[in-house]
């Protein structure tokens, strides 16, 4: 995700150098962690990398999609615009505002789950001996619910899924394909979001494929 975030729109040479840097960084973090044997170093490195990628993606999203940030450039580039073009711009602005609202909901929900898992994991580290006693008293299967490290993996995994889904949608929007892809998220609680093609786009693509086969 770090590579996908920082390599977008860059030259091939820049992307290759970035890939080499990130691989070297991973090797360094792994080797130094093995040398120190201190989990705090690994935790801080992971948290810092995640925060950098998240903040960078938020910045790109706001600068590229927020209509108010694009208006100044449009007004300078085109001194006078036709009525039809102005209507088109207004429609695009409303569309992008709606997309940004759903994206921020996606970010907030995923970040809440991720940080919730991080909090439970920290609590598990601080109260490890006490939680072990409680788990033994409760027994299986309900004692599993007090396995904080398991909740950490589950919740951070779900949080990461939300972030990747957002990243996919953001990439489509940066490529100007807002009208081709949308977020499918039936319910905020109880379902996982996915990025799907609009039905009209998918049906048109299917029809074109049928026509080509007939030809």
Over residues 110-124, the pLDDT tens digits come to 999 999 988 888 888
Residue 4 lies in a domain: no
Residue 126 lies in a domain: yes
Q: How many domains does the chain have?
A: 1
Q: Closest Cα to residue 117, out of 163, 53, 86?
A: 163
What b-and-e string marks burial along 12-45, b requiring 16 or more CB atoms within 10 Å of the CB?
A: eeeeeeeeeeeeeeeeeeeeebeeeeeeeebeeb
Residue 66 lies in a domain: no
Lowest mean per-residue pLDDT among 73-77, 111-115, 131-135: 73-77
Over residues 160-205, the pLDDT tens digits come to 999 999 999 999 999 999 999 999 998 888 889 999 998 765 555 5
CA angle centred on 18, ends 14 and 19, rounded to 5°:
120
pTM of the model: 0.78
Residue 13 lies in a domain: no
Residue 140 lies in a domain: yes
pLDDT at 12: 93
Domain residue limits at 143: 84-214
Task: Give the CA distances from residue 89 to residues 8, 35, 66, 95, 122, in Å, rounded to whole numbers and listed in that order.
Answer: 25, 56, 13, 10, 48
Q: How many CA atoms lie within 13 A of 194 on its CB side?
A: 5
């Amino acid at each position: 995700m770090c590579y996908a975030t920082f390599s977008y729109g860059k030259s091939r040479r820049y992307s290759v150098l970035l890939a080499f840097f990130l691989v070297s960084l991973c090797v360094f973090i792994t080797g130094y962690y093995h040398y120190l044997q201190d989990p705090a170093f690994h935790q801080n490195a992971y948290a810092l990398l995640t925060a950098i990628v998240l903040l960078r993606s938020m910045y790109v999203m706001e600068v590229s999609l927020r209509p108010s940030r694009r208006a100044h450039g449009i007004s300078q580039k085109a001194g006078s615009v036709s009525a039809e073009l102005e209507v088109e711009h207004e429609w695009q602005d409303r569309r992008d505002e709606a997309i940004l609202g759903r994206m921020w909901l996606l970010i907030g929900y995923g970040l809440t789950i991720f940080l919730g898992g991080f909090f439970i994991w920290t609590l598990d580290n601080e109260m490890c001996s006490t939680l072990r006693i409680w788990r033994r008293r409760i027994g299986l299967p309900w004692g599993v619910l007090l396995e904080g490290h398991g909740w950490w993996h589950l919740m951070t995994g779900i949080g990461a899924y939300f972030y990747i889904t957002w990243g996919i949608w953001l990439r489509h929007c940066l490529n100007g394909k807002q009208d081709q892809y949308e977020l499918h998220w039936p319910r905020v609680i109880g379902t996982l979001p996915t990025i799907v093609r609009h039905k009209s786009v998918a049906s048109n693509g299917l029809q074109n494929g049928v026509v080509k086969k007939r030809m």
